[in-house]
Structure 1
Amino acid sequence: MIPSAYVHIPFCEHICTYCAFPRTARLDWIDPWLVQIKQEIKAALKKARKDDPAFALQTIYFGGGTPSILSAGQLQELMDCFQGYLAKDYEWTMEANPESLTQEKLQVFLQAGVNRLSIGIQTFDESRLARLGRHHSAKKALECIALAKQAGFSNLSVDLMYGFYDQTPEQLQADLDAFLKLDVSHLSIYSLILEPDSLLAKRGEPELDEQKSGELFEWIESRLQQAGYTHYEISSYAKDKQYGLHNTLIWQDGLYYGFGYGAVGRDEQGLYHHSGSLKNYIEGKSEIEYENDANPWFDAIMTGLRTIFGLDLEAWNTKYQSNFVTRYPKTLAKYQDHLTIDAGCLKADGKGMEILDSILVDFLIEDENQSPLNSSLSRTSLQTGFQAADLAMKPNQNKKSRTDSRK
């Protein structure tokens, strides 16, 4: 049984300067797209229930793009597809942007069963909002959070970004202070990545050097932990154990539906996505394609070490018919101060998460001559996979697809 579903809504009124996700400003395509994705969702869920009468979804995640750009009526139509398929203790997350979230849409979300909001604020600094191509103000962001709370949402997550080449610790502190005043339970804070397809990269935006980025990372962790937040994943912090269940299941190598153009799913055969363009999808000409995931054992390492839950070594050993500890003795010894085995799981501490790129490179180097898994990985393949993991919480996923919570 597949317990989760990611729904990709690829429409945006404006294209943010940092974004490399599949998206379009062709809002006139929403209605025909809605017809197609409803058919896809209904057919898949109907088949799942026929195969297993007890089938129910533990998590649903609506990402984009900008899900909240759809009208209340369009959102209602889409969410209706999932009625009758929710598990008893489910999590249903909806991404939203401050400029398109309204009281009417919040009520529609609540009535449908949405119980978690992820709001893309990115920064409270007006100049950086403009630089990122965001079309809301800091004031609007604050009003959006207040509106969501007034509507009855208690499980809220905020997205912030850091790592601008000219960002000072004082500016970052101002963003974190503004976030903490909101009193919400979850924060996803991402380092700015200058993807080649993004407008920022095309404009020649300089990158922040690694040393300064690492210093900001450590400062963020210290500040949020002082405020009572647990750093449970590289980019995510939660208070009172309000972890994002959907992404946590993905990081733990779980199965999930990927509905719509731009989404990735994972079933027993592996990762899959829709072929072709958004236009192909709307016209019913897109087909499901499975990705050439030649290194699934390394995907599991990469995603497992992103979180405080770690990599289940027994499960990894069984699934990939190898012994992790005897396979990687050099890397485990090198990073013994930052990698520990606790209750059968390999875990990285805070510093380990900060330098995870380097740790993974060393796992690859040690793995290159190991014949049981026939490794043919390289530093280049790691860079490609890790960029995708930062963008979509799933390594080896191309930039045409999403599974996660990051806008």
Structure 2
Amino acid sequence: MEKRPKNNGLRLLAAIVFGMAGVFFVIIGSLFLLFESGQRAVVILIATSIAVYLLFILRLFRLVQGRKFAYSAAGIAAAVLITVGSIAAYDTYLESITNSAEVDLRAHEPFESGTKAVSMPKEASLHLEDDLPELDGATALYPLYSAFVQAVYPEDDYPHVGKSNQTVMSTQTDNAYKRLIEEEADIIFVAGPSKRQELAAERAGHEFEMTPIGREAFVFFVNAKNPVDSLTIEEIQGIYSGKITNWQEVGGENEEIQAFQRPEDSGSQTALEKLMGDIPIMEAPGEEIVTGMGGIIKETSDYRNHGNAIGFSYRFFSTEMVRNGDIKLIAIEEVKPSAESIRDNSYPLSAEFYAITVGKRTENEQKMIDWILSDEGQWVVEETGYVSVE
């Protein structure tokens, strides 16, 4: 019997066409996944696509047949599953040790059922009915000024996100300063400004009117298993300048230090810059993020509680972070951050936070700030978890 031609040319053409179509699919799929799910999803897509193409080639050219093909398919599928499982397990691990040091703002919105915003034990002495000051501020301080609103504003819906002209917002420190400078907000509740923010106000012809309304501590934290319990300011400066790179240099284990930072112009990053003074800060750990225009930018990584990690924030955030026992606060110059050490100023990194305005204050703006400084307002400061001003 005459043998049929193998048609290897047609098979090769089919392999090329299928391969080109696969490459096109992978490119389009990768771009979509970069926007929606991140780089690891792209790795999974590529691994799966290669596996499918290998199976196609094996079948098309009959390189293996029968049971051998089934075994090959099972082996390739197992390799893909192991790859996907490993990536998923690593992502789960990273998520379990990642802490963005943020507050659930929705839970603190004023007048909402079950809100965590502090309520006055009796009616406040101040009530504003109209010409309400538009408020903004740092994420950490939203629970505080939300409680101010609940005490002195008319009962209403005050969502913290939405339209730019809302009465009460929380756009974070940097944006709050921008909105104040552009006169889109009347009072912002923040830590002191960075040099860049002061220059921006000066260029706009403004001068910040800063009223201290409470005290807070700038804190550093590490993995609870780290044997280091205290650092000096000089050691902190050495770590964040990159001069001190191993925990052994400050009394810890022989491990490289992974020093996390916060986004530029955030309240806590500004506090680090002030602590460092003229000492240059090392580059922060970052992650590549795909932008809406298809570009890639590097964003500062959230704190990840590796055994060799160190991070920083404000004490208000840290209260939640240390609750599960995996993270501990570091003493500075042998003094632990506490309400008492903040109040008596023995904790070296205690600082005031402010109600800040620009231009001449309206009557209601001044009334509100005066009330915040009253016994009632300072009671709210303490009950929210901060330390009142003397």
TM-score after normalising by structure 2: 0.25
Looking at CA atoms only, which structure, 1 or 2, has the larger radius of gyration?
A: 2
More RCO (CA 8 Å, sep 6+): 2
TM-score after normalising by structure 1: 0.24
